[in-house]
Chains A and B, each alone.
Chain A
Amino acid sequence: MRTLTDRALNLAKVQGASYADIRVIVRRTQGITVKNGVVEGLSDNESQGFGVRVVVDGAWGFASSAILTPAEVDRVTALAVQIARASAMFKVHDVDLGPPVAHVGSYRTPVEIDPWDVPLEQKLDLLLRAEEGLRTTPGVMVSSASVALWREEKLFANTEGAYVEQEIIESGGGITATAVDRQKGEVQKRSYPNAFARDQRQEGWEAILSMDLPGNAPRVGEEAVALLSADQCPSGVTTIILDATQLALQVHESCGHPIELDRVFGTEASYAGTSFLTPEKYGSFRYGSDIVNMTADATIPGGLGTFGWDDEGVPAQRVPIVRNGIFCGYLTSRETAQQLRDIVGDTAPEASGGAMRADGWNRIPIIRMTNVNLEPGEWEFDDLIADTDDGIYMEMNKSWSIDDKRLNFQFGTEIAYEIKNGKMGRMLKNATYTGITPQFWASCDAICNRDHWRVWGTPNCGKGQPGQSAHTGHGTAPARFRDIQVGMIK
Chain B
Amino acid sequence: MLGERRLKELADGILARSTADQTEVVVLAGDTYLTRFANSTIHQNVAETDTEVRIRVVLGTRVGVATTNNLDDEALESTLENALSIARLQPENPDFKSLPGPQPLPDYSAFSQATAACTPEERAEGAGAICLMARDAGVVASGALTTSVLEVGVANSLGVFGRFSTTRAEISTVIMSDTSAGYASDMALDVSELDFEAIGREAVGKCLQSQNPRSIEPGEYTVVLEPYAVQDLIAMMTYTGFSAVAMQEGRSFMVGKIGEQIVDPRVSIWDDASDPRGLPLPFDFEGVPKQRVDLIEKGVARGVVYDSYRAGKEEGKASTGHALPAPNSFGPFPLNTFFGAGDATLEEMISSTERGLYITRFHYTRPAEPTKVVVTGMTRDGTFLIENGKIAYPVKNLRFTQSYLEALNHVEMIGRDYRLLSGMGGLGGTVQPALKLGGFTFTGATEF
Contacts and interface: CB of A to CB of B under 8 A. Distances in A.
Interface of A: 31, 33, 38-49, 59-67, 76, 79-80, 82-87, 89-93, 119-121, 124, 128, 141-142, 178, 180, 182, 185-187, 265-271, 273-274, 276, 362-364, 398-405, 407-408, 410, 412, 430, 432, 434, 436, 465-466, 485, 488-489
B48 A46 contact: no
Of B43, B64, B401, B448, the most chain A CB neighbours within 10 A belong to B43
Given A42-B86, A182-B256, A362-B50, 12 more contacts: A39-B90, A48-B70, A85-B120, A86-B42, A142-B250, A187-B250, A187-B251, A270-B144, A401-B364, A408-B446, A410-B368, A436-B447
A106 B368 CA distance: 44
B222 interface: no
Contact of B36 (A65, A119, A270): A270
7 contacts: A40-B329, A42-B64, A90-B124, A124-B89, A267-B44, A436-B447, A465-B36
Interface stretch (B17-25, B373-381, B432-440): B373-381
A271 B361 CA distance: 13
A468 to B, nearest CB: 11
Contact of A410 (B40, B63, B376): B376
B368 to A, nearest CB: 5
Closest 10 CB pairs of A and B: A41-B327, A86-B120, A408-B446, A43-B65, A180-B250, A86-B124, A269-B142, A270-B142, A87-B42, A63-B47
Given A45-B67, A86-B121, A265-B39, A412 B368 contact: yes
B423 interface: no
A410 to B, nearest CB: 5
B125 to A, nearest CB: 8
A79 B44 CA distance: 14
Contacts of A67: 49
Contacts of A128: 91
A182 B255 contact: yes
A464 to B, nearest CB: 8
A67 B448 CA distance: 47
B409 interface: no
B140 interface: yes
Contact of A488 (B37, B143, B363, B376): B376
Nearest to B362: A401
B363 A466 contact: no
Contacts of A466: 32, 34, 46, 48, 146
Interface string B39-68: 111111111111110000000001111111
Given A42-B65, A399-B366, A403-B399, A408 B43 contact: no
Contact of B91 (A66, A124, A185, A404): A124
Given A124-B91, A404-B378, A436 B446 contact: yes
Interface stretch (B103-111, B171-179, B289-297, B300-308): B171-179
A412 B368 CA distance: 7
B89 A120 contact: yes
Contacts of A121: 89
A270 B86 contact: no
Contacts of A412: 368, 376
Interface in B113-135: 119-121, 123-125, 127-128, 131-132
Nearest to A29: B67
A66 B327 contact: no
A46 B363 contact: no
A85 B121 CA distance: 8
Contacts of A119: 89
A286 B184 CA distance: 36
A465 B127 CA distance: 14
Contact of B327 (A40, A92, A187, A485): A40
Contacts of B96: 38
Contacts of B39: 92, 265-267
A488 B142 contact: no
Given A89-B121, A90-B42, A44 B51 contact: no
Given A62-B46, A66-B49, A90 B94 contact: no
